[in-house]
Chain A
Amino acid sequence: DAGVIQSPRHEVTEMGQEVTLRCKPISGHDYLFWYRQTMMRGLELLIYFNNNVPIDDSGMPEDRFSAKMPNASFSTLKIQPSEPRDSAVYFCASSLWDAREPQHFGDGTRLSIL
């Protein structure tokens, strides 16, 4: 079975540019989560969706960050404009039915903003 697929795996861009991270969850999973991981702050939940609907975006750091899930098989996380402090590894995860089920993580996108 295909796992959670994220793209790109690595992104290096200059400050001020728009960044779009993509995620394809496991087929049949109802929940999708976006996380950010840094040495200083650890693994932080940014936003999660249930059946394509955003449920909680309280972890989104600023208005520069936005996330969408137009259908059950695709989600994006956008940063516009990007700043050096946004550099981190961004993970997407999905789970079945509800969050009492395991979360399956994608390989992550390593983002560097210069």
Chain B
Amino acid sequence: QQPVQSPQAVILREGEDAVINCSSSKALYSVHWYRQKHGEAPVFLMILLKGGEQKGHDKISASFNEKKQQSSLYLTASQLSYSGTYFCGTGSTNDYKLSFGAGTTVTVRA
């Protein structure tokens, strides 16, 4: 089942912060975050695993609430390059395939 992302879209000015949320109705083992710019492929940002392990870029932060099956991605001091569509992909305990959310479109303006 597809995870639910919120908000659908957000507009920021450079330097502002934003939070993108991802929630699932299934027990989760992993949450992946990707960013996709228009006409390009999704690019890996972060993986959060059950138990607290994280893998990803130093400038990106995220959290994973295992009890609530929720994850949040934090965009801090946003830059123009942060613009794009952010997708969360969730993996359940029993298999490794990911279900992706509908995406959150982030627009950062000067």
Contacts and interface: CB of A to CB of B under 8 A. Distances in A.
Contacts of B97: 33, 45, 48, 56, 99
Contacts of A31: 96
A55 to B, nearest CB: 8
A11 interface: no
B91 A99 contact: yes
Which residue, of B29, B42, B95, has the highest number of chain A Cβ atoms within 10 A? B42
Interface residues of B, number: 25
Interface stretch (B17-25, B60-68, B100-108): B100-108
B32 A56 contact: no
A83 interface: no
Interface in A6-42: 31, 33, 42
B49 interface: yes
B6 interface: no
Classify chain A: how many residues form its interface, as a range.
Answer: 20 to 34
B58 interface: no
A42 B42 contact: no
Interface of B: 2, 29-30, 32, 34, 40-44, 47, 49, 55, 87, 89, 91, 95-103
Interface of A: 31, 33, 42-45, 48, 56, 91, 98-108
Given A105-B42, A105-B43, 17 more contacts: A31-B96, A42-B2, A42-B100, A42-B102, A45-B97, A48-B96, A91-B42, A99-B97, A100-B49, A102-B32, A102-B44, A103-B32, A103-B44, A103-B98, A104-B44, A105-B41, A107-B41
